[in-house]
Amino acid sequence: MALEKIGTAQSWEEAFDTARQLLLDEQLTAVAIVSEEEYARGSYFATQLQEFEAVMGCVDAVVSNLEQMAPMLYGEEHSFRLMHGQFESNHPISTGHDWMLAIIYST
């Protein structure tokens, strides 16, 4: 998986605004929220949006839920590095064109 840096964010809201734009551009099928240390180790997982779409019918609602939960789980005071790119998924409902946004937080 080769992700490229596409920018930075100063808030969860700004990071998830990027996620929504990628979703509109049809370049988002998974989101990972990960610390700098976890990202460096490659020790993280991504939420596969297609799976929730099949159940909930609306991927934007899933992105909104992730945005609401992130500060509660990981805290408010972070800066973010945003990494994006295609990745290989073996998920049964993979489109074959899977895109991940990794929201990497640091304090």
Dump pLDDT digits (tens) for 15-55. 999 999 998 898 998 999 999 999 999 888 888 887 666 55
> What per-residue confidence (pLDDT) applies to 22?
93
Task: Please give the Cα distance from 90 to 88 (Å, whole number).
Answer: 7
Q: Which domain holds residue 98?
A: 4-106
Q: Tell me how many domains the chain contains.
A: 1
Q: How far is CA 102 from CA 20, 34, 56, 75, 81, in A?
A: 13, 7, 22, 17, 8
Task: Tell me what pLDDT residue 72 has.
Answer: 93
- Average pLDDT, integer, range 67-82: 92
Residue 85 has pLDDT above 90, yes or no: yes
